[in-house]
Amino acid sequence: MEITHIEHIGIAVRSIEEQLPYYEGVLGLKCYNIETVEDQKVKTAFFKIGQTKIELLEPTGEDSTIAKFIEKRGEGIHHIAFATKNLEEALREIEAKGIRLIDKHPRPGAEGLNIAFLHPKSAGGVLTELCEHPE
| Backbone dihedral angles phi then psi of residue 75, each to the nearest 5 degrees | -70, 155
Residue 4 makes CB contacts below 8 A (sequence gap 6+) with 83, 84, 85
Binding flag, residue 81, Zn ion (CB under 5 A): yes
Q: How far is the CB of 24 from Zn ion (least distance, A)?
A: 20
Task: Please identify, using beta-carbon distances, which residue of 98 and 125 lies nearer to Zn ion.
Answer: 125
Residue nearest to Zn ion (CB): 10
Q: How far is the CB of 126 from Zn ion (least distance, A)?
A: 12
10 binds Zn ion (CB under 5 A): yes
Q: Which stretch binds Zn ion (CB under 5 A): 7-15, 69-77, 82-90, 118-126?
A: 7-15
Give the residue from 53, 47, 76, 44 showing the smallest Cα distance to 5: 53
- C-alpha of 74 from chain center: 17
Residues 47, 30 contacting (CB under 8 angstroms): yes
Rounded Cα distance between 23 and 45, Å, is 11
- Applying CB under 5 A, does 106 fall inside the site for Zn ion? no
Residue 90 binds to Zn ion (criterion: CB under 5 A): no
Q: How far is the CB of 117 from Zn ion (least distance, A)?
A: 8
Q: Which residues bind Zn ion (CB under 5 A)?
A: 10, 81, 129
